[in-house]
Structures are given as C-alpha cells and as structure tokens.
Chain A
Amino acid sequence: MTFQELVGALERFWSQAGCLLTAPYNSEVGAGTMNPATFLRVLGPEPWKAAYIEPSKRPKDGRYGENPNRVQQFTQFQVILKPSPEDVLPLYIRSLEAIGIDQERHDIRLLEDDWESPTLGASGLGWEVWLDGMEITQFTYFQQAGGLELDPISAEITYGLERICMYIQGVDDIMEIEWGDGVTWGDLNRQAEREFSAFHFEQADTALYFDVFERFHSEAMRLIGAGLILPAYDYVLKCSHIFNILDARGAISVSERTSYIGRIRDLARRTAEAWVAERERQGFPLLKKRARATRRRRSGR
C-alpha cells in the first residue's frame, strides 16, 4: 500500500462513517488539532464529524533529512467526531482493518496518554495506540479547548501516517516510503527537510521574528475585538508557529518560554470564547442542519 493509497483508504472509510472530508489548513500548524476544523468546531453544542490530512510542522524535530525517524514536517490524518459515538473505539479498530491491519493478526494496544496542549489551553484523556509495540495513533477524548470545558465531548483520532506506512511497507527509513507510482517520500521532501532545517536552526532572522510575533499578537487582539474570529485565529496560529521557529533557533530562554506560551494560550482562549458567542448569535446553525436532515429522512425524501 502506497502512502497515497493509505490516505485514500482512510478517507473512504471515514467518509462512509459519516465524516465530512475537509482540507488541511492553509497556514502552518504543528498538528491537525490546530486546524479550525478541530480547534473551533469542538467548541459549543453543534455536532461535527470531519476527517482530513494535515501536514504538521515541528521545526525542532528537523534533522536535515538525515535521520530515519525525525523530520520537521510529517503528515497526520485527523478524525474528529462530535459527539463521540458510543462505538468510537470499535470504529477505529475497523478503520485499521480498512488499511490492512487486522486486529487478529497484530498486537494492538492502548496505552494511557493524557494529552495536553499548553498553547491551545486544550487537554483530553485517552491513549497512544501501539501496533506491535510502535505508536501509530493518538486517541483522545477532548475535555477542554481554549480553556473552555467541552460539552458534548469530541473524540479525536490522529493517525501518524508516516509511521503506519513505514510499518506496512516494511521500510526503516521515512525517506524510503513509497508515496505513489514509484516516487518516494524522500524524493518529494528531502530537499524541504534540508532547507527548512537550515532555516529553522541557522538562518531564521530572530530579530525579525521577535518583531513579527509582537505585531501578529497585536493583530490577533485587534481582530478579536473587531469580531473577525477566523482571521484572528489565523494570527494566533502564526504566533504559535513563529514561537516554534524562535524556539528551534534557540532564541527563547527557559523563563521566556513560559510567558510566550501563556500569551498564545490567552489568545486561543479569547478566540474560543468569541467563536462560541458568535455561533450562539447565529443560533448554532449546525444544530439546525441535523434537524433538517432528520426531517428529510422522515418525509422519505
């Protein structure tokens, strides 16, 4: 199974399970959780089921394309189910069968992992999922996002696509994953790994990024004030990414770290609150969508 066949299989499975297939976000994120399709949609009472891939950028993890396991950008497949269905865990196990991992033939294990994102003010309880001893998925019942207690609870399933693919294809180096049609992951991404590692570790202009952080921070605050929540959230994401670059560059001291993380969390909280207020003002439109669908089914259309 190639990388793209793996993505296709997961998309088919989750689409059939009733998920919307949405797009990765068009701004740098460290994880699929930061995509508004997760971070904002888990807030408030509206139901939401979505699946999407997410190129996830972790500047600190770059190794110039020379480490078999570590890269500065990898790919997550993110599933968010709100409210979390009663059979979410069996559903996940069936999704593994859909990509050729039969639980009868493997040791699939759930190991306690309480997930927390200090920058997003988000946390949840769940597991890392092991496939024959290797971590392949984060499975989390979200309890909090943007500092807000969640109700209903969402289940978040985050597959590490490269890990899974390496296992399926039996390769020991991420660069050797076959993406599709004989082209490898390395063919596609080795140059990016080399260049971005050099950028994050050596070249990033720290004075520029410290300055930009402050400006984007102010911009996010201004936009929240102006009621432009989605644009505001873009600037929260940019602040978070800039922080990651500065951190990778070694420009942030231990004591500064806490304060930067606290400032981003504060922005995330304000955005989350504004989002819920705005959705409420609109009467939580997706609640109506569900009512509409129910009516349609009843009237036999």
Chain B
Amino acid sequence: MKRDLLVEIGCENLPSGYIDGALRQLEELFSGGLTSLRLGFDDLAVTGTPNRLVVHVGGLQVKQEETKETVTGPPVKVGVAPDGSYTKAATGFAERQGVAAGKLTRVETPRGEYLAVVVRIAGREARTVLREQIPAWIGALRFPKVMKWDSSELRFARPVRWVLALLGDRPLDLRLGELRSAPRTRLSPFTTETVAVKGIRQYYDLLNRSRIVLDRRGREELIRSQAHEAARRAGGSLVEDDELCHMVANLVESPVVMTGSFDRSFLSLPREVIVTALKSHQRYFSVEGKNGRLLPRFIAFADGARRNKPQILRGYERVLQARLADARFYYREDTAAPLERMAGRLDGIVWLEGLGTLADKARRVGALGGWIAAQYRPGDERLAGDVERAALLAKADLASEMVKDGKEFTLLQGYIGREYARVSGEREEVAEAIFEHYLPRFSGDSLPRSTAGAVIALADRIDTICGCYIQGLEPTGSQDPYALRRGALGVLRILLDGEVPLDLSEAVSRSLGLFDISAGRSKREAEELEAGIRDLFAQRLTTMLRGDGYDYDIVSAILSAPWRFPGGVTAMVRRLQEMRGAGSLQGFVLAMKRVVNILPKEFRRPTAAGEGDEALEALASGTGAAFDPSLFAEEAERLLHAAAGDAARELLGLEATGMARAVDLLEGMTGAVNRYFDDVLVNCEDTALRTNRHAFLLSLSRMVGRFCHFPEIVGDQGEQ
C-alpha cells in the first residue's frame, strides 16, 4: 500500500541565501534516508519559502521491504567437529539466533569459512520508522551559520516554530527539539494562530487561498512576469536582472507587485549608481525607456496583499529618495576635483600589509604595464601613454566617497572610475581601461576589449599574484583568500583570447623585480617564487584545457616542457590532440621517445629552458654543439643531423602564435629518427663514436624537449 508524506518545517524568516541550499539538502536527506530505510516511493519534491520548507513524498510504501541478513557465527573449524557434527559453539550460536542447528549455513570470509544463519528481518511500519528518522534528517541540515533559540540541542538557521507532518491524510507525530508536530500550519510566523490541515490536498488549497506561492520556481517566474508587466504599464521595460528575481523570490512568500517613482533629477547620476541604489538594499527593479535610458520609476515587491498600498509605496519612495540623495552627495563631492587628485590619496590606503599602499601598486602596475604594452604593440607611443595614465588612475576610485568603506556602491569599483575619468576629461581609451582592468570579474564574464584595458588587467593581476607569493599568501588546498587562482585564470583568458605573444615567465620575473623580495614574509628567493607562480599558471592551464576535453597526458607533456607563451601551449596541445584523433600520433611519439630512452636515466627528465634554447641554437647554427658532425660514420646520422638542423632553423623563427607548426616540424623528423635507430648502433664499441652519438642525441632530445616532454605521452595500444 502507498501513501503520500508531507512535512512542513515552519521557520521565522530564513535568510534568502540559505533557502536553495536547504532544499537541496532536504531532497538528498529524504531520498537517501528513505532508500536506506527500504521504503520505496514514486517521487519526491522539495520546495519552500522563507517561512516554510516543504517535503512531499509521493507514493511512499507504508511498510518497509522485508530483508534477509546473514549473521556470522564461529569459524567452521571451531563449530564443526572432525566427525561432521556441530560442536557446542555452533549449537549455542544457533540457539542465540533462535534457529535450529540444522538451519546453519557456511559463508566464505577473508578470514576463512564461518558458520552463519540467514535471519529474516520483517518490515516495520513506515509510520514508526519515520517518527524516529525524520527529526534526525531535519537536524542534519547544514547552514552557513546556525543558532540556538531554546534549551533544546536543535540548531537551525533561524528558529523553527512549527512542524506539520502528514502521512496519507493522518497526522504523523514527530518531535523536533522542543516542538511536537501537529496537523496544523501557520500562515505567517508573525502570528501564533494556527490553522488545521485536514489532508495534503487541503494543505495546498489552504496556501493557495491565502495567496502563499509555495513553489520556489513558480514564485520566481511570477515575480519576473509581474515585474515585466508592471514596467510595461509604467511606460517602459524592465531592466532584466535574474539575480534580483532570484533574491526577491527567496525574500517573500506572497509577492505583491508595486510601482513607484523617484525624483527625475536623480537621473543625472550614472546609470549603474541608480540601478545599484535600487537593487542592493531595497531590492527594487529598474525600468528603462525605449531609448535604453532609465525612467524615474521602480518596481518593488511587498510580502502579502495589503490594503493601504499607497502608504506602503510612499514609504518605499522615501527610503529610496534618501539613498539616492546619499549617492548624489557622494557624486558631487567626488567630481568636484579631477580624478588625478583622488589618485593622490591612494598613498594613504594600505593595499596588503607589508606590500605598501595602493599608490605603490599603481606605480608597479604602470612599470609592468609599460613593458607589456611594448610586447603587444612595440613602438606604439599612444598606447604606451594611455597605459601609463590608466595605471595611475585605475585604482583612484577606491579613494572616492562613492566606493570607499564598503557600502553598496563599492560593487561599482572600476565603473565609477570610468565615469569620473570621463567627467575629468581623460581620454576615452584611458577611461575604458580603468573599467576594463577589473575584467573578467567572474567565470563567464566578458574580457577587456581595449588593448590598454587588457594590458592593465594583466599587469594588475600579475602584480597581485607576485606580491602575494612574496608574502607567502599563495593558495593552499581550498584556501585562496586573495583569489589568486581566479586572477591567474583571468590572465590566461586574456592572453589566449587576444592571442597575445606575451612571455609569461619574463612578465613574472619582471614583476617580481619591482618588489623588494628580501623584505617579503615568505623568505624565498626569486627563482623559487617564479617556479611557484609558474606552477599556479600551469595548474590553471591544465584545468582549462582538460575542461575543453584535451587529454591529460598531452597537456601534461606540453606543460612539462619550458613553455613561455600560453597561446603556444594551447596551439601545441590542440595539434597533438588532432594527431591522436587522426591516428598519426603514435608513430611520431614512439620515434621521439626512442631519442630520449636511449639516453642514460639522468638525461630523461624534462628539459630546462636554458638547455633547450642552447641545443636549439646549436643545431640551427651548427656551431657550439657538444658533438662533432665529422665523426658521423653512417648516412643515417648525417641525414638526421641535417633534418634536425632544418627543423631547428625554422623553430627558432616561429612566432608564439604559430606553435602548431612546431609540432609539425618535430613530426617531420619521424622518418629520419626511425631510420637512424634502424641503421645506427648507438652503443657501439668505439668509445669516440659512441660518446659523439650520445652527445648528438642529447642535443636532439633537448631541442625536442624544449617544446614537449614526450615521455609523458601515454603509449597507444601495440606500443612496446
């Protein structure tokens, strides 16, 4: 037989940010719990409002499934006598389990063979087990912060004031902390008045009649459509904001839409300042006209259908008026002097303890930015000038009345800087760079579009990463208080998006050079810091590329080589992956591994940057090599040497963006390499010949290893 189960946990207003998480957990706790109790069910739905969390289980079995359990007794060698009869140990065990000795069976365990009985466990009534278990499931809910409110041990995000529980249409008696469930609910936590609930159907009817929109998603949709409709009636259209719809849906259970106005004169404020003033405290929606400019109107939601709407609306308007007046006051104060003056106040704001002020940071970002700009567009004086200016002003808005001290408008850092830069008559490129240097702010955010913006964004993030590493503030495990991983990802996204040939290793080393490393708390040398930071970037690159579906071994092989340009890394990874897809990777990798594997063990590690460059240059120029070509005895040696030389000369000339070609050039040597190993006995008797061959192969291995550490690539089937 099946019944529906309904549980409503009645709370004093839960924080809006806790509701979705609580519902997710309830779903897991109930479905996992019922399954492990062997109580089958057809479906399970959770939903709720700030005042009630509701679980509805459809088609729940009223009795647990019967089950069998094997109880292990004594080992066979103890329980069974040599003549095959049961010993006292065995009969005693059977007796304790309430079965005849004849029912004993044997089970195989890791410790040997044991006697056992199979016991049937009868199913208990769902009503009985649920009474025991549901309070435990509710008690297992986790919230970011919990509280006590009475003398029970129950902890919850806010006080639980009632519990309604019905199995079928009959009350289910639960105890939760000091509460006992009853077949009653409350329409609001503001009252002690309770309403009888005769059944599950009646529960939903009651809430409907009371205009409580229980369904969380339905409520959000209702809010969205009502807001759109209200904006249309107000003569404009809604400034869409999914986040706000979501927040409001978790703040009210009976949304009632209202449309209000504010003084038209506030429209002279920058748009986002108005939108933020409406949204961030008051949770109002903004309305814009056909031309995309804001109208002096707002859409708000009250909780519950009230009489007296005009007075409520007047209250909303007064509060908003005060907030906008504050914003206007800040705006006027801030724009009374040029932005440059504000930048002058940055020397009074500590950036990070031990790393100086924001003014110091601005100076470093300017210096690093100048170098980065020269990598982007060598000789572009205008860009260099814009970068220098934008670096000086990028953080200036942090000293503004509007942004400082962590108020609602602090969210608008960068945006405010851009507005003020425009008012101060800065070049548009500079203003735009001030805003864009914060991009990307989150995963999926847009990237800087202007070159100056990208340059400052890179310089600022690299500076932050280097500074934090110097102070020993690098990410560890799940801890990343300065969001350096996100910063590193931002750097990579910008570089990959613009295909900018920026040598990241050199950028980091230059950035570190702008700090006094010896004063840093990490007490590490520049080289160690560089390695750590390189690792940070390599990890982010790995995550990005793995996320894009590239194979781990290929990514790892490229990142184990001394890469410098993220764009080069992705180009090579992509090319190798294509080869694997086309089936042409295996022979190529096999050949490259032959070069490495014949060398003594100590030469099979990943190649260092200097070694690789040296080998590449030597093979390209034919001078400075550690081997002597005149000692080559076989034609195959001369052929491979020539092939390597040709490849090396072209490799040297490759741009960072053309790195896919590097893979092709290496692959082009496959035939020559294979012929070499087929024809040449490397470890020959003649010491001079042998030593020379080793030296040549080490050079070749390092030239190849400069781009890819082939031993990391997993051999395909059939390979030895």
B442 CB within 8 Å of chain A: no
Q: How far, in Å, is A11 (CB) from chain B's closest CB?
A: 22
**Interface pair B315/A167, CB less than 8 Å apart:** yes
Q: How far, in Å, is B266 (CB) from chain A's closest CB?
A: 16
Do A110 and B13 form a contact, CB below 8 Å, given A125-B158, A133-B300?
yes
Flag A72-116 by CB within 8 Å of B: 1 or 0 each.
000000000001101101100100000000011111111110100
Instruction: Tell me the complex Cα distance, A110–B574, Å.
Output: 54
A69 CB within 8 Å of chain B: yes
Further 16 A-B residue pairs, CB within 8 A, beyond A133-B318, A153-B148: A86-B150, A89-B159, A90-B190, A90-B192, A103-B190, A104-B307, A105-B308, A107-B304, A107-B306, A125-B147, A125-B157, A131-B315, A133-B282, A133-B320, A134-B319, A143-B148
Which residues of chain B are within 8 angstroms of A104 by Cβ–Cβ distance?
Answer: 306-308
A172 CB within 8 Å of chain B: yes
B263 CB within 8 Å of chain A: no
A213 CB within 8 Å of chain B: no
Which residues of chain A are within 8 angstroms of B322 by Cβ–Cβ distance?
Answer: 69
Partner of A107, one of B148, B161, B189, B315: B315
Q: 23 A-B residue contacts at CB 8 Å?
A: A87-B192, A90-B192, A103-B190, A104-B306, A106-B306, A106-B312, A108-B190, A111-B251, A112-B16, A125-B147, A125-B158, A132-B313, A132-B315, A132-B319, A133-B282, A133-B300, A133-B319, A134-B319, A151-B151, A152-B151, A153-B150, A167-B315, A254-B350
B191 CB within 8 Å of chain A: yes
**Interface pair B311/A112, CB less than 8 Å apart:** no
B330 CB within 8 Å of chain A: no
A127 CB within 8 Å of chain B: yes
Which residues of chain A are within 8 angstroms of B148 by Cβ–Cβ distance?
Answer: 141, 143, 151, 153
Do A114 and B145 form a contact, CB below 8 Å, given A107-B306, A132-B312, A151-B151?
yes
Partner of A105, one of B15, B307, B314: B307
In the complex, chain B residues 169-203 whose Cβ is within 8 Å of any chain A Cβ:
189-192
Instruction: Tell me the complex Cα distance, A107–B157, Å.
Output: 23
Do A107 and B319 form a contact, CB below 8 Å, given A132-B312, A143-B147?
no
**Interface pair B159/A93, CB less than 8 Å apart:** no
Instruction: Tell me the complex Cα distance, A89–B300, Å.
Output: 25
Flag B1-42 by CB within 8 Å of A: 1 or 0 each.
000000000001101110000000000000000000000000
Closest residue of chain A to B300 (Cβ to Cβ) is A133
Size band of the interface chain A makes with B: 35 or more
Which residues of chain B are within 8 angstroms of A132 by Cβ–Cβ distance?
Answer: 311-316, 319
**Interface pair B191/A84, CB less than 8 Å apart:** no
Do A89 and B315 form a contact, CB below 8 Å, given A104-B307, A153-B150?
no
Interface centre among B147, B189, B251, B300 (most CB of A within 10 A): B147
Q: How far, in Å, is A110 (CB) from chain B's closest CB?
A: 4
Flag A224-235 by CB within 8 Å of B: 1 or 0 each.
000000000000
Task: Please give the residue numbers on chain A whose beta carbons come within 8 Å of chain B beta carbons, in ascending order.
Answer: 69, 83-84, 86-87, 89-90, 93, 103-112, 114, 124-125, 127, 131-134, 141, 143, 151-153, 155, 167, 172, 254
**Interface pair B318/A105, CB less than 8 Å apart:** no
Do A172 and B318 form a contact, CB below 8 Å, given A83-B150, A84-B150?
yes
Which residues of chain A are within 8 angstroms of B303 by Cβ–Cβ distance?
Answer: 107, 109
Which residues of chain A are within 8 angstroms of B350 by Cβ–Cβ distance?
Answer: 254
Which residues of chain A are within 8 angstroms of B190 by Cβ–Cβ distance?
Answer: 89-90, 93, 103, 108
Instruction: Tell me the complex Cα distance, A107–B300, Å.
Output: 11
B204 CB within 8 Å of chain A: no
Instruction: Tell me the complex Cα distance, A134–B12, Å.
Output: 20
**Interface pair A141/B147, CB less than 8 Å apart:** yes
Instruction: Tell me the complex Cα distance, A96–B138, Å.
Output: 33
Instruction: Tell me the complex Cα distance, A90–B12, Å.
Output: 10
Which residues of chain B are within 8 angstroms of A107 by Cβ–Cβ distance?
Answer: 302-304, 306, 312, 315
Closest residue of chain A to B284 (Cβ to Cβ) is A133
Which residues of chain A are within 8 angstroms of B150 by Cβ–Cβ distance?
Answer: 83-84, 86, 152-153
Flag B281-302 by CB within 8 Å of A: 1 or 0 each.
0100000000000000000101
Interface centre among B251, B300, B312 (most CB of A within 10 A): B312
Q: How far, in Å, is B564 (CB) from chain A's closest CB?
A: 40
Closest residue of chain B to A135 (Cβ to Cβ) is B319
Instruction: Tell me the complex Cα distance, A104–B303, Å.
Output: 11
Which residues of chain B are within 8 angstroms of A172 by Cβ–Cβ distance?
Answer: 318
Interface centre among A83, A87, A112, A153 (most CB of B within 10 A): A112
Top 7 closest pairs, chain A to chain B, by CB: A132-B315, A112-B15, A105-B308, A107-B302, A110-B13, A133-B316, A125-B147
Q: How far, in Å, is A259 (CB) from chain B's closest CB?
A: 14
Instruction: Tell me the complex Cα distance, A271–B600, Å.
Output: 73
**Interface pair B149/A105, CB less than 8 Å apart:** no
Which residues of chain A are within 8 angstroms of B314 by Cβ–Cβ distance?
Answer: 132
Which residues of chain A are within 8 angstroms of B308 by Cβ–Cβ distance?
Answer: 104-106
Which residues of chain A are within 8 angstroms of B315 by Cβ–Cβ distance?
Answer: 106-107, 131-134, 167
Q: How far, in Å, is A144 (CB) from chain B's closest CB?
A: 10
Q: How far, in Å, is B154 (CB) from chain A's closest CB?
A: 12
Which residues of chain A are within 8 angstroms of B316 by Cβ–Cβ distance?
Answer: 132-133
Q: How far, in Å, is B503 (CB) from chain A's closest CB?
A: 38
Q: How far, in Å, is B174 (CB) from chain A's closest CB?
A: 17
Q: How far, in Å, is A42 (CB) from chain B's closest CB?
A: 13
Q: How far, in Å, is B257 (CB) from chain A's closest CB?
A: 12
Instruction: Tell me the complex Cα distance, A134–B117, Å.
Output: 70
Instruction: Tell me the complex Cα distance, A124–B157, Å.
Output: 12
Which residues of chain A are within 8 angstroms of B157 by Cβ–Cβ distance?
Answer: 125
Which residues of chain A are within 8 angstroms of B145 by Cβ–Cβ distance?
Answer: 114, 125
Instruction: Tell me the complex Cα distance, A207–B320, Å.
Output: 42
Closest residue of chain A to B14 (Cβ to Cβ) is A112
**Interface pair B149/A134, CB less than 8 Å apart:** no
Which residues of chain A are within 8 angstroms of B15 by Cβ–Cβ distance?
Answer: 112
Interface centre among B148, B282, B314, B322 (most CB of A within 10 A): B148
Closest residue of chain B to A87 (Cβ to Cβ) is B192
Interface centre among B149, B308, B316 (most CB of A within 10 A): B149
Q: How far, in Å, is A190 (CB) from chain B's closest CB?
A: 20
Instruction: Tell me the complex Cα distance, A110–B49, Å.
Output: 13
Closest residue of chain B to A105 (Cβ to Cβ) is B308
Flag B402-426 by CB within 8 Å of A: 1 or 0 each.
0000000000000000000000000
**Interface pair A105/B311, CB less than 8 Å apart:** yes
Instruction: Tell me the complex Cα distance, A127–B251, Å.
Output: 12
Which residues of chain B are within 8 angstroms of A124 by Cβ–Cβ distance?
Answer: 147
Closest residue of chain B to A103 (Cβ to Cβ) is B190
Closest residue of chain A to B258 (Cβ to Cβ) is A107
Instruction: Tell me the complex Cα distance, A125–B148, Å.
Output: 9
Instruction: Tell me the complex Cα distance, A114–B147, Å.
Output: 11
Closest residue of chain A to B17 (Cβ to Cβ) is A112
Which residues of chain A are within 8 angstroms of B320 by Cβ–Cβ distance?
Answer: 133
**Interface pair B192/A105, CB less than 8 Å apart:** no
Instruction: Tell me the complex Cα distance, A82–B17, Å.
Output: 29
Q: How far, in Å, is B178 (CB) from chain A's closest CB?
A: 8
Instruction: Tell me the complex Cα distance, A134–B192, Å.
Output: 25
Flag B76-96 by CB within 8 Å of A: 1 or 0 each.
000000000000000000000
Which residues of chain B are within 8 angstroms of A89 by Cβ–Cβ distance?
Answer: 12, 159, 161, 189-190
